[in-house]
Amino acid sequence: MLKIGCHLSISKGYLAMGEEAVRIGANTFQFFSRNPRGGNVRALDIEDIRRYLDYAKEHEISVILAHAPYTLNGCSAEEKTRGFAVRAMKEDLERMEYLPGNLYNFHPGSHVKQGTETGIQYIVEMLNTVLWPDMHTTVLLETMAGKGSEVGGRFEELRAILDGVKLSEKMGVCLDTCHVFDGGYDIAHSLDAVLDEFDRIIGMDRLKAVHLNDSKNVLGSRKDRHAKIGEGNIGAEALVRMMNHPDLKKLPFYLETPNDLDGYAAEIKMLCGHYQEEM
Ligand SMILES: [Zn+2]
């Protein structure tokens, strides 16, 4: 069965997100671990989580994905910003222990003129501080478009981060279709070549989730502006092909397309209709 969901607001809690997901035909979802632009976090509501977990079991909601705030930049030149990144990620991951077995995704960060190597070093340090051996969450590095001084626009950069992390078995990668396309990987016309490259450099076993987005910009633009499925330069056909690729089709797919809930419901319905169940 296709694992498909979209980004939902956590403002009413976990149970509300689960119910919303089911209502729009999704069986998974993504949410921000805290305010994406500020970094404030809602009070932890154990009762809500307990009710969500019952609901998720009943409605077969599969693995869910917490997304770190955009303000989290573990490789900033500012010590204060790096300090916030470490504290916020540690706290987020401790909270995720109430929902064991799920995923936590973050943007590696922007090195802001310090250079990619220094950026990677800081990100590795952060991960070596916040991960612990018996945690129950897989932490994902997101593939980036390489906009400005973003780290993670090349598969090699993600590989270098993974190589530096001591508990690297806790780590995986989330592939964002818009980001990799904008980063110059032509998933629209040479999907197999891109996946071969991913496998050679990072390893297919590291790939744990896909952000399924079309792109407003062209291949290699390094821009990062998501479009609705079929309204961008990747196109619906190529995205459907990805969803059905034997190496990808079992992964959870998350839409981060510019949509309201009705728009998401329509995209989910369209994608489900094009999913090829295994015989
Ligand atoms: Zn993201």
Q: Is the pLDDT of residue 128 over 70?
A: yes
Instruction: Give me the mean pLDDT over the 102-126 stretch.
Output: 96
Q: What's the pLDDT score for residue 115?
A: 95
User: For residue 18, which phi and psi values (nearest 5 degrees)?
Assistant: -60, -45
Ligand 1 centroid from CA 112, angstroms: 18
Report the DSSP pairing between strands 214-215 and 226-227: antiparallel
Q: Which amino acid is at 162?
A: L
Joined tokens for residue 194: 């891109």
Q: Which of 22-26, 145-149, 162-166 has the lowest mean pLDDT?
A: 145-149
Ligand 1 centroid from CA 106, angstroms: 6
Instruction: Give me the mean pLDDT over the 250-278 stretch.
Output: 96
Angle between helices 116-130 and 79-96 (to 10 degrees): 40
Ligand 1 centroid from CA 174, angstroms: 9
- Catalytic residue annotation: 37, 67, 70, 107, 142, 176, 179, 211, 224, 226, 256
Instruction: Give me the mean pLDDT over the 103-118 stretch.
Output: 95
pLDDT tier at 279 (50, 70, 90 boundaries)?
low
Q: What is the mean pLDDT of the chain?
A: 96
Q: What's the pLDDT score for residue 39?
A: 77
Q: Is the pLDDT of residue 192 over 90?
A: yes
Ion ligand 1: residues, CB within 5 A, are 142
Burial (CB count <10 Å: 0-12, 13-18, 19+), residue 120: buried
Give the separation between CA 34 and CA 67, rounded to whole angstroms: 8
Q: What's the pLDDT score for residue 36?
A: 83
Residue 235: which residues within 8 A CB-CB, separation 6 or more? 188, 214
Asked if residue 104 lies in contact with residue 140, where contact means CB atoms within 8 angstroms, the answer is yes
Ligand 1 centroid from CA 279, angstroms: 33
Asked if residue 158 lies in contact with residue 127, where contact means CB atoms within 8 angstroms, the answer is no
Q: What's the pLDDT score for residue 41?
A: 85
Ligand 1 centroid from CA 157, angstroms: 16
Q: What percent of the chain has pLDDT over 90?
A: 94
Segment 152-160 long-range contacts (CB within 8 Å, at least 24 positions apart)? 152/107, 152/108, 153/179, 153/183, 153/222, 154/183, 155/197, 155/198, 155/201, 155/202, 156/201, 157/108, 157/116, 157/120, 158/108, 158/201, 158/202, 159/201, 159/202, 160/120
Ligand 1 centroid from CA 154, angstroms: 15
Residue 176: which residues within 8 A CB-CB, separation 6 or more? 142, 143, 144, 210, 211, 213, 256
Q: Which amino acid is at 143?
A: T
Instruction: Give me the mean pLDDT over the 70-95 stretch.
Output: 95
Instruction: Give me the mean pLDDT over the 189-207 stretch.
Output: 98
Ligand 1 centroid from CA 81, angstroms: 18
* DSSP code, position 127: H
DSSP string across 60-122: T----EEE--TT--TT-SSHHHHHHHHHHHHHHHHHHTTSTT-EEEE---B-TTS-HHHHHHH
pTM surpassing 0.85?
Answer: yes
Instruction: Give me the mean pLDDT over the 64-91 stretch.
Output: 95
- Quick: pLDDT tens for 9-56: 999 999 999 999 999 999 999 999 988 887 788 888 999 999 999 999
Ligand 1 centroid from CA 23, angstroms: 24
